């Protein structure tokens, strides 16, 4: 295959050169006296991305799944009751993890393609008069279906019920790409991973913890060792870690935070929205539908696109890879074979995405899916280009002027 693979899966995302170069360094001494000068700034700036002043952010070697486990095992005891909704593969896997860790899960079965069922959460919280539910879990951006949920509304439901449970948010495919407000939304545990909005290689599980969750950690009885918040908090205070940190990735994280800060978080969110909207226009122009059933759930980091009956999305994704060196996301679990996904998160601009849309169109057309070549690209271009000024005529310069 010639040239570089076009990576349009919903994470890992494209890595900017500034991050790659920041990691092209000799290995370093994680106990050096000047190491904290570097790490303390990282902890400070990570808090801005989570929009928390009160919370504490821990960076573990791991991936998003490790972050889930850290959040649960530090704050809950075996047998504790957890309220969670399943409406896609990632919310499903988090529920499965709870069960494997010996927690008792009250699982709300949501529809794949819909957002977190806030009303169902509210009903169960209101009914839980003796506050047996200790934890409420929600997946902010369900990467399997391309659905973003309303975390603030879930916080309102908790408050309306006067319920003291901790609020846990999976922000693996939202944080640093889609607006997320830890303090304002009263989130107690927020989980992110390095390979999506942070544009880094996989390898860091980033977990933000509220003071209330830290207090719960002091009482919680679940076994934990490697992911222990207390060990992290004790050593992080001085700028160090309880074991060898992934220093090279931390250098990349510094570059990532600098990039996010330079662009401005709000601009990063707006860029994701504009790019995502172009993809949605393309999908409409192809005559296809998103898995997300209502615009209020449209994800700005990933679009899951449903193929007409009789076509296999796995064949399209495989063909896109083999013929055009374009990586698209497959459909997962319940929607395997029916859905394919375009990841549009991280370091990305219009031109890159138009290339991906052009490749997707060819892969669809090659598999006899009835779309018109160029239609999606044109729709996205119309969205990305400056507004047309039909009456504007450029003045001609006089010859010799």
- The answer to the question of residue 177 lying near ligand PLP (CB under 6 A) is no
The full DSSP string for 307-348 is PPTT--HHHHHHHHHHHH-EEEEEP-GGGTTTEEEEE--BS-
Report in angstroms how near the CB of residue 143 gets to ligand PLP at its nearest: 3
Of the residues 80, 170, 188, 228, which one makes contact with ligand PLP according to CB under 6 A: 170
* Secondary structure class of 116 (helix, strand, coil): coil
Query: Would you count residue 90 as binding ligand PLP (CB under 6 A)?
Result: yes
Q: What is the rounded distance in angstroms from the CA atom of residue 48 to the CA atom of residue 238?
A: 20
- The minimum distance between CB 342 and ligand PLP, in angstroms, equals 14
Pairing of strands 166-170, 133-139: parallel
173 binds ligand PLP (CB under 6 A): yes
Q: Does 286 bind ligand PLP (CB under 6 A)?
A: no
The reply on whether position 11 binds ligand PLP by CB under 6 A is: yes
The smaller minimum CB distance to ligand PLP, of residues 65 and 381, is found at 65
Using the rule CB under 6 A, is 381 a contact of ligand PLP? Answer: no
Residue position matching structure tokens 């050096």: 32
**8 A C-beta contact, residue 221 and residue 78:** yes
Binding segment for ligand PLP among 103-111, 165-173, 243-251, 374-382 (CB under 6 A)?
165-173
Cα gap 294→271, rounded to integer Å: 21
Cβ of residue 12: shortest distance to ligand PLP, in angstroms?
A: 9
Give the residue among 287, 329, 325, 328 at the shortest CA–CA distance from 308: 287
Minimum distance of ligand PLP from residue 256's CB (angstroms): 16
Nearer to ligand PLP, 11 or 376 (CB): 11
252 scored as a contact of ligand PLP (CB under 6 A):
no
Cα–Cα distance measured from residue 10 to residue 207, given in angstroms and rounded to the nearest whole number = 20
Q: Does 148 bind ligand PLP (CB under 6 A)?
A: no
Please report whether residue 65 would count as binding ligand PLP according to CB under 6 A.
Answer: yes
Q: What is the x/- site pattern for ligand PLP, positions 118-147, by CB under 6 A?
A: ---------------------x-x-x----
Residue number of the CB atom closest to ligand PLP: 64
Assess contact for 381 and 354: CB atoms under 8 A. yes
Q: Which stretch binds ligand PLP (CB under 6 A): 15-23, 61-69, 253-261, 356-364?
A: 61-69
Task: Name which position in 161, 172, 192, 320 contacts ligand PLP (CB under 6 A).
Answer: 172
Residue 211: Cβ within 10 Å count: 11
Q: Check: CB of residue 366 under 8 Å from CB of residue 311.
A: no
- Helix, coil or strand: residue 289: strand
- CA dist list (Å): 235 to 95, 193, 264, 396: 31, 21, 30, 69
**To the nearest whole angstrom, how small is the minimum distance from the Cβ of residue 7 to ligand PLP?**
14
Q: What gap in Å lies between CA 149 and CA 137, rounded to an integer?
A: 12
> Min. distance of Cβ 390 from ligand PLP in angstroms?
43
**Residue 299 touching ligand PLP (CB under 6 A):** no
Chain residues in the site for ligand PLP (CB under 6 A): 11, 63-65, 90, 139, 141, 143, 170, 172-173, 193
């Amino acid at each position: 295959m010639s040239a570089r693979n076009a990576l349009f899966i919903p994470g890992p995302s494209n890595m900017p050169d500034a991050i790659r170069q920041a990691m092209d360094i000799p290995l370093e001494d994680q106990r050096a006296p000047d190491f904290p000068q570097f790490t303390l700034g990282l902890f400070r700036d990570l808090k801005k991305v989570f929009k928390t002043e009160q919370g504490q952010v821990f960076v573990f070697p791991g991936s998003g799944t490790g972050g889930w486990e850290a959040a649960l095992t530090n704050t809950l005891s075996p047998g504790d009751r957890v309220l969670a909704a399943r409406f896609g593969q990632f919310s499903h896997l988090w529920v499965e993890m709870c069960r494997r860790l010996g927690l008792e899960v009250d699982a709300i079965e949501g529809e794949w393609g819909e957002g977190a069922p806030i009303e169902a959460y509210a009903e169960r919280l209101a009914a839980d008069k003796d506050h047996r539910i200790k934890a409420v879990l929600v997946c902010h951006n369900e990467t399997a279906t391309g659905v973003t949920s309303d975390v603030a509304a879930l916080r309102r439901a908790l408050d309306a019920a006067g319920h003291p449970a901790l609020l846990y948010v999976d922000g693996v495919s939202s944080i640093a790409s889609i607006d997320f407000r830890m303090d304002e939304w009263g989130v107690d545990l927020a989980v992110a991973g390095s390979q999506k909005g942070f544009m880094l290689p996989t390898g860091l599980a980033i977990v933000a913890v509220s003071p209330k969750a830290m207090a719960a950690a002091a009482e919680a009885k679940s076994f934990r060792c490697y992911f222990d918040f207390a060990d992290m908090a004790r050593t992080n205070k001085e700028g160090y870690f309880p074991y060898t940190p992934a220093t090279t990735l931390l250098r990349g994280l510094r570059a990532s935070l600098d990039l996010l800060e330079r662009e401005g978080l709000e601009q990063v969110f707006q860029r994701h929205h504009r790019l995502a909207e172009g993809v949605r226009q393309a999908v409409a122009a192809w005559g296809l539908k998103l898995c997300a059933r209502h615009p209020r759930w449209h994800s700005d980091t990933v679009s899951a696109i449903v193929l007409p009956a009789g076509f296999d999305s796995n064949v399209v994704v495989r063909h896109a890879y083999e013929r055009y060196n374009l990586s698209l996301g497959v459909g997962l679990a319940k929607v395997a074979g029916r859905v394919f996904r375009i990841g549009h998160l991280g370091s990305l601009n219009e031109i890159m995405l138009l290339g991906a849309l052009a490749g997707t169109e060819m892969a669809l057309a090659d598999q006899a899916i009835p779309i018109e070549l160029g239609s999606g690209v044109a729709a996205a271009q119309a969205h990305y280009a400056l507004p047309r000024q039909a009456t504007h005529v450029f003045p001609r310069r006089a010859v010799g002027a």
